């Protein structure tokens, strides 16, 4: 555990310059967009006089220069304080703590679904490249991969929630149900079925194709040929020899997809009304809330760094030749 913690910290420290550039860039970009938080607020309340706008700007600290506001926010971040959200009128730390779990559940379940079924189907397809089942799975996955996730989400919602009414249309849990413990977990799980299916299915296709490609490559290698020459059954060769080696690029892909998965969950959260990170980012931009947007982006970046770290560790476990930072193939 301490070694892991050190590794995480080293990775994070290494990403500080990048994060700093991203955070400052986001701040300046949002600042250069027309209008500020008070403009957004005045529109939302249907208008107010000029003195009111001035009072609000003073109250929110928007009467200060760009540089002063940027330095203030960076200083707060350096002290580990995410600051105050003007758009939501709440501390940003609390908002993040509220929204992050929803997004993590969504992304985590979707990733698990996509990875598990994608790799399994990839093995089936790649066991005998060119076979009928391979053509079916490869073709199907190509179709799935071309489907926009929001469209798939809407179709799933119309079929399973509106028509069949098997599952809830939207939300993360039944409103004001008062359920606790297992009943609540089950309720959340029911709400996650459709969004996870919509988000996961598309990545499933991706993992399927990568797994299949890895399998096809493995069949051309000497070790599979040798195994088959020894008379090992074709399923055992597929699972123990080809698939094991084809898994590595798949796990690497998992890390690479972490960032795009966050982007995908923005769309899915909106379709299924899940109060997660994606909606928070959208609210931050619409409300011209630079500190909130910076916090969302920072936390997302940390999540991506952590996901990649986990992938590195997993690769090291799958392939002993890859040491944790001590040379080797990776």
By CB under 8 A, the residues from 37 to 56 that bind other proteins are: 37, 39-53
d(CA 179, CA 186): 10
User: What is the nearest approach in angstroms of other proteins to the Cβ of residue 113?
Assistant: 14
Smaller CB separation from other proteins, 144 or 179: 179
Nearer to other proteins, 43 or 256 (CB): 43
105 binds other proteins (CB under 8 A): yes
Closest CA to 37 of 80, 88, 94: 88
Nearer to other proteins (CB atom), residue 117 or residue 174: 174
Judged by CB under 8 A, which of 120, 144, 188, 248 binds other proteins?
Answer: 188
Residue 273 CB burial class (10 angstroms; 0-12, 13-18, ≥19): middle
Rounded to whole angstroms, how far apart are CA atoms 74 and 95? 19
Of residues 130, 165, 220, 231, which one binds other proteins by CB under 8 A?
A: 165
- Phi then psi dihedrals of residue 180, to 5 deg: -135, 170
Cβ closest to other proteins, residue 134 vs residue 173 = 173
Q: Number of residues in contact with other proteins, rule: CB under 8 A?
A: 72
- Dist. CA 202–CA 145, nearest whole Å: 5
CB of 285 to other proteins, least distance (A): 8
Q: Report the chain's C-alpha Rg in angstroms.
A: 24
Task: Check binding of 279 to other proteins (CB under 8 A).
Answer: yes
Among 297, 263, 249, smallest CA distance to 122 is for: 249
Contacts with 253 (C-beta within 8 Å, 6 or more apart), sequence order: 206, 207, 210
275 near other proteins, rule: CB under 8 A: yes
Decide: is 159 part of the binding site for other proteins (CB under 8 A).
no
Residues 56-75 that bind other proteins (CB under 8 A): 59
Which of 209, 212, 241, 288 touches other proteins (CB under 8 A)? 288
Beta strands in the chain (DSSP E): 84-85, 90-91
207 part of the interface to other proteins, by CB under 8 A: no
- Enter the DSSP assignment of 63: T
Q: DSSP letter for 241, please.
A: I
| Interface residue with other proteins, options 29, 66, 71, 183 (CB under 8 A) | 183
């Amino acid at each position: 555990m301490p070694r892991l913690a050190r590794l995480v910290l080293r990775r994070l420290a290494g990403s500080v310059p990048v994060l700093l550039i991203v955070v400052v860039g986001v701040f300046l970009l949002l600042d250069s967009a027309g209008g500020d938080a008070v403009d957004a607020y005045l529109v939302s309340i249907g208008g107010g006089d000029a003195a009111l706008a001035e009072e609000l700007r003073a109250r929110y600290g928007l009467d200060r220069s760009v540089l002063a506001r940027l330095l203030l926010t960076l200083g707060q971040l350096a002290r580990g304080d995410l600051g105050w959200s003007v758009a939501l009128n709440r501390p940003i730390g609390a908002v993040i703590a509220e929204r992050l779990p929803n997004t993590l559940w969504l992304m985590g379940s979707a990733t698990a679904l996509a990875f598990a079924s994608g790799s399994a189907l990839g093995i089936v397809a790649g066991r005998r490249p060119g076979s009928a089942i391979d053509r079916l799975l490869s073709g199907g996955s190509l179709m799935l991969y071309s489907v926009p996730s929001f469209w798939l989400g809407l179709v799933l919602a119309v079929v399973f929630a509106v028509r069949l009414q098997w599952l809830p249309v939207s939300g993360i849990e039944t409103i004001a149900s008062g359920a606790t413990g297992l009943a609540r977990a089950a309720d959340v799980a029911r709400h996650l079925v459709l969004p996870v299916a919509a988000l996961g299915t598309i990545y499933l296709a991706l993992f399927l194709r990568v797994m299949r490609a890895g399998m096809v490559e493995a069949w051309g290698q000497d070790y599979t040929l040798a195994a088959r020459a020894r008379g090992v059954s074709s399923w055992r060769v597929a699972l123990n020899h080809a698939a094991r080696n084809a898994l590595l690029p798949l796990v690497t892909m998992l890390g690479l997809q972490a960032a795009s998965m966050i982007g995908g969950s923005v769309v899915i959260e909106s379709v299924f009304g899940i109060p997660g990170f994606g909606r928070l980012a959208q609210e931050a931009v619409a409300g011209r809330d630079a500190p909130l947007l910076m916090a969302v982006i920072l936390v997302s970046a940390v999540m991506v760094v952590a996901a990649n770290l986990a992938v590195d560790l997993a690769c090291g476990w799958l392939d002993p030749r890859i040491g944790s930072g001590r040379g080797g193939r990776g």
